[in-house]
Amino acid sequence: MSWMVTGGAGYIGAHVVRALLAADIEPVVVDDLSTGFARFVPDGVPFVTTTILDQAALEDAIKNHGVEGVIHLAGFKYAGVSVSRPLHTYAQNVQGTVSLLEAMTATGVDKIVFSSSAATFGTPDVDLVTEQTPTKPESPYGETKLIGEWLIRDAATAYGLKHTSLRYFNVVGSGTEELFDASPHNLFPLVFDALTNGRVPQVNGDDYDTPDGSCVRDYVHVADLAHSHAVAARKLAAGESLEPVYNLGSGTGSSVKEIMIAVREVTGIDFTPQIGPRRPGDPARIVATGELAARDLDWQMRHTLRDMVASAWSARQAAGDAY
């Protein structure tokens, strides 16, 4: 039996595929390559190129590969862009999840691990976000992730679906040089792009009520994240009950200026970041606890901030012109 990974050719999904292989779980990748890369899929891993909106194709993939569970990462993941493309975001993230759940129900697959997001919380008014922190999404992306959780919850009530949803904030680093983050909106790629093109990275505001004045965010290493997805799959496959939602957070966070210092040390490129104005709506600090996930999903921060930057930079350099 195998586990289907939707979005398995993407940055996070490809790491999850490798975590499954390390856990002796056979993965099957489903990806439409809208943002993923076929070369991210390891040799020998079954790869079905299709959109999750195609229910019939999903049913065929499940039947053809003996799928017993799904790790659902596919979707439109750009929170900022979702504001100007709400219909596309809802089609991919809500209709796509409905299509997947329909395919699972039709084929008798009753286990799912859902890639949710800290965007479901919006701008929390607490220093440390827990699973009980109220959800108040502020973008179509965050709304669709919360709706995804609701869809899975309701499918569990109706059809006995066994499930959990994992919420995380800023996923960074690389578990292997062949996998890199190509997002045009994430901090690490933006900083690396600036440096490789002879520009100076910018810090958006340095007058926040934080130790160094810059925003504090939760950064977690993608390999640590992927490991907990595999643990969740293994526990569901063994019939163990999991919480409906887990935060995968550091509990401490790092500031943007700390990121810049680590980048300067790792790359050897001497620069002083420009200080720009605050971005409207940016809270001073958003950090989540990972205590529940540590209890149930072997969640640990196994990588330091320097490890995160160094692995991301190494993967970026290894990509070369292919980036």
| pLDDT value at residue 65 | 98
Do residues 74 and 5 touch, judged by C-beta distance below 8 A?
no
C-alpha distances out from residue 79 to 152, 312, 314, 317, Å: 21, 22, 27, 27
| CATH assignment, 187-217+250-322 | 3.90.25.10
Q: Rounded distance, CA 313 to CA 51, Å?
A: 31
CATH class of 2-172+219-248: alpha beta
Report the range of poorest mean pLDDT among 61-65, 288-292, 319-323. 319-323
Q: Rounded distance, CA 194 to CA 110, Å?
A: 45
The interaxial angle of helices 305-319 and 256-267, nearest 10 deg, is: 50
| pLDDT value at residue 102 | 98
Residues belonging to the active site: 141
| pLDDT value at residue 1 | 80
| pLDDT value at residue 323 | 63
Q: Rounded distance, CA 290 to CA 288, Å?
A: 7
Q: Is 244 exposed, middle or buried (0-12, 13-18, 19+ CB in 10 A)?
A: middle
Average pLDDT, the chain: 95
Percent share of the chain, pLDDT over 70? 99
pLDDT band at 322 (very low <50, low <70, confident <90, very high): low
Q: Rounded distance, CA 276 to CA 285, Å?
A: 18
69 vs 322, residue with greater confidence: 69
Domain boundaries, the chain: 2-172+219-248, 187-217+250-322
Mean pLDDT value across residues 124-128: 89
Per-residue pLDDT for 320 more than 80? Answer: no
Per-residue pLDDT for 125 more than 90? Answer: no
Per-residue pLDDT for 10 more than 80? Answer: yes
Return the beta strands (E) in the chain as ranges: 2-6, 26-31, 47-49, 67-72, 111-115, 162-168, 170-172, 202-204, 216-217, 219-221, 245-248, 254-255, 274-276, 285-286
| pLDDT value at residue 217 | 93
Q: Rounded distance, CA 151 to CA 35, Å?
A: 24
User: Alpha helix locations (H) across 1-137?
Assistant: 11-22, 55-64, 79-82, 86-90, 96-107
Which residues are paired to 49 by β-bridges? Answer: 31
| pLDDT value at residue 250 | 94
Q: Rounded distance, CA 163 to CA 220, Å?
A: 23
Per-residue pLDDT for 123 more than 90? Answer: no
DSSP codes of every residue in 265-303: HHH------EEEPPPTT--SEE-B--HHHHHHS-----S
Q: How far apart are the first and last CA of the chain?
A: 34
Mean pLDDT value across residues 123-128: 88
Mean pLDDT value across residues 176-197: 93
Per-residue pLDDT for 173 more than 90? Answer: yes
Q: Rounded distance, CA 82 to CA 178, Å?
A: 28
Mean pLDDT value across residues 165-177: 96
| pLDDT value at residue 260 | 97
Task: Give 208-258 pLDDT, tens digit per residue.
Answer: 999 999 999 999 999 999 999 999 999 999 999 999 999 999 999 999 999
Do residues 62 and 41 touch, judged by C-beta distance below 8 A?
no
Report the range of poorest mean pLDDT among 17-21, 49-53, 207-211, 227-231. 207-211
Mean pLDDT value across residues 134-160: 96
| pLDDT value at residue 280 | 77
Do 2-172+219-248 and 187-217+250-322 agree at the fold level?
no
Mean pLDDT value across residues 20-44: 97
Considering only CA atoms, which of 192, 229, 186, 222 is closest in space to residue 307? Answer: 222
Do residues 173 and 15 touch, judged by C-beta distance below 8 A?
no
pTM of the model: 0.96
Per-residue pLDDT for 112 more than 90? Answer: yes
Q: Rounded distance, CA 153 to CA 273, Å?
A: 44
Percent share of the chain, pLDDT over 90? 91
